[in-house]
Amino acid sequence: MIGIELARQWRRPRTLVTFAALASFTLVLTVALAASGGDRLQRVGDIPLFVVPDRSGIAVAVIALASTMKFFLPLAVAVFAGESVAGDAGWGSLRYALARPVSRTRYLLSKLVVALGFSIAAVVLVPLAALVAGTVAFGWHPFTAIDGSASTAIHSTIVTFASGAALARLGIGTAYVAAGMTSIFAFAFLLSTLTTRPFAAVAGGVGLTIVSRVLNADYLPGVAVLNHWMPNNDVDLWQHFFQDPYDTTGMGHFLALQLIYAGTFLAAAWWWFNRKDILT
Amino acid sequence: MADSSIPVVIEGLTKRLGRGVLAVDGLDLVVQRGQVVGLAGPNGAGKSVTLKILLGLVRPTSGRVELFGERIRPGAEVLGRVGALVDGPGFVPHLSGRENLRLAWRMTRGSERTTGLDRAIEIAGLGQAIDRPFKTYSHGMRYRLGLAQALLGTPELLLLDEPTTGLDPAHMREIRDAIAAAAASGTTVVFSSHLLSEVERICTHAAVMRAGRLVASGPVSELRGGSSLEDAYLSLVAGEAPADGAQSYRHASVEG
């Protein structure tokens, strides 16, 4: 069942375009950094962390992950999750997939596993492609960053990681970002079971990302209390792994929040899909 | 009465859709093995919803529905013996007709044995086009592929919803011939149509629905009653036909 779903999805133009777009973004980023500013300090995130890209390919991967985690990656994840069931409904193949001796739970599971696999692949692709492009452009060197949170006007805290250690931290950071996509994934997946228009489900997932962004104290003073309850806001905390010593405050809360959101949305999707009349 | 030899048993079937609309209203219908039953009726009579209920796609509000003695629920085991073409064909657009049929075959049988698959490709009769992406197919080619999918693995019961809608006469004839061939080899067929000439030509029996109710059923020759089936049909579906009026036409099943 999963093999069949994979065969139906992987050669979809949309799947290929999504992966190609993410990979080419890292290329554009590398070229842009090489063309200008590669030798200057670049600010990454809100910690803040400053890196000099042309010192190490790993820095490019860190910048790439940081610059895609709040919009491009949620968009890609929303595409895979939102297209899953609604895509079948849109093609008219949903009724044939279900008019068989196959339980709806099993059908939904195969959709879930394949869409989840593509989503994880998208998150992994970004730092991986950036690492390759960055290493080709700037070489394989230890990773150096300035920890802005620990620095003052007259004193900079420079942290240097050996390549292996930096890679390990990048790997953990990537896993954290992937985990941070689950609420948006699950929301788009739920919408995908509700609508027969894939675009609506994808747009819903992107909409949740935007709501999460907007209900942020940076944009709307006074909603600070909501900050840490939004599905996507704390996805940037992985950057703390590039501090020394690193601070994991808030990460557990964010991961638990993902679990609660994703669990709720997926349970709702399962509940509804098992009761749904397939009229189209 | 869970009789595993009777392909279709519908008893007191009611389906209430959103906003309280009764799509099917107390329908009783029995289809015996080997019959080719034409389900006729105007648009909105409930034909299509009835077929979707038989496929486990739509849950009945009340009533009993059994295929080969097994109560229908979503994903019921007995659906492995049923082939269907409802609401038009639905395939993965970027895959070829052959790949689509192969995936459908694997989904149905869980294996990739090619017997039956080759037969279906033959039925589709698409020639070289079978290896082109589905999205390049014309309306007629799509329907032929849809019918080929319905006939995969030689189903014992074929449920077809308007299988010839929008086709030109030549394609209509091909689809009709394929249905007739399946019926000749023992497959029980239920298909909905608003083309009475079609029902008249290939069906042994007909059931006429109106506003979710069965207003007549029986052997085609009997329903026709000397005139054309069209005249008989129009007199059946015309007028007010209130519940009690419909009762007089109502038969418990398609007998004969």
B46 neighbors B25 (Cβ within 8 angstroms): yes
Distances (CA, A) of A130 to A90, B37, B58, B138, B226: 35, 63, 48, 44, 79
Confidence of residue A137 (pLDDT cuts 50, 70, 90): very high
Tell me if A278 and B84 make a contact (CB, 8 A cut-off). no
Chain A contact for B112 (CB, 8 A cutoff): no
Tell me if B59 and A277 make a contact (CB, 8 A cut-off). yes
* Residue from the list A13, A100, A274 with its beta carbon closest to the beta carbon of B79: A100
Cα–Cα distance for residue pair B84/B160, rounded to 1 Å? 6
Question: Is the pTM above the cut of 0.95?
Answer: no
Q: What pLDDT score does B244 carry?
A: 40
Tell me if A100 and B92 make a contact (CB, 8 A cut-off). no
Q: Residue B242, preceding bond cis, omega within 30 degrees?
A: no
Confidence of residue B61 (pLDDT cuts 50, 70, 90): very high
pLDDT tens column, A109-134: 999 999 999 999 999 999 999 999 99
Examine the pLDDT at A224 and tell me if it is beyond 80.
Answer: no
Mean pLDDT calculated for residue range A181-189: 98
Least confident of A53-67, A105-119, B124-138, B161-175: B161-175
Looking at residue A223, its amino acid is: V
Rg (CA), chain B: 18
CB atoms within 10 A of CB A139: 11
- Name the CA dihedral angle for A156, A157, A158, A163, rounded to a multiple of 10 degrees: -160
Chain A contact for B160 (CB, 8 A cutoff): no
Tell me if A91 and B89 make a contact (CB, 8 A cut-off). no
Examine the pLDDT at B154 and tell me if it is beyond 90.
Answer: no
Q: Closest residue of B to A276, CA-based? A: B58
Chain A contact for B93 (CB, 8 A cutoff): yes
Q: Which residues of A touch B142 (CB under 8 A)?
A: none
pLDDT tens column, A1-10: 888 899 888 8
pLDDT tens column, A203-212: 999 999 999 8
Chain B residues 58-77 within an 8 A CB cutoff of chain A: 58-59, 74-77
Q: Which residues of B touch A275 (CB under 8 A)?
A: 59
Enter the ipTM.
Answer: 0.87
- Name the CA dihedral angle for B124, B126, B128, B131, rounded to a multiple of 10 degrees: -60
Average confidence score pLDDT of chain B:
85
pLDDT tens column, B99-128: 999 998 887 764 455 567 888 888 888 889
Tell me if B58 and A277 make a contact (CB, 8 A cut-off). yes
Cα–Cα distance for residue pair B235/B238, rounded to 1 Å? 5
Q: Which residues of B touch A280 (CB under 8 A)?
A: 87
Cα–Cα distance for residue pair A33/A38, rounded to 1 Å? 5
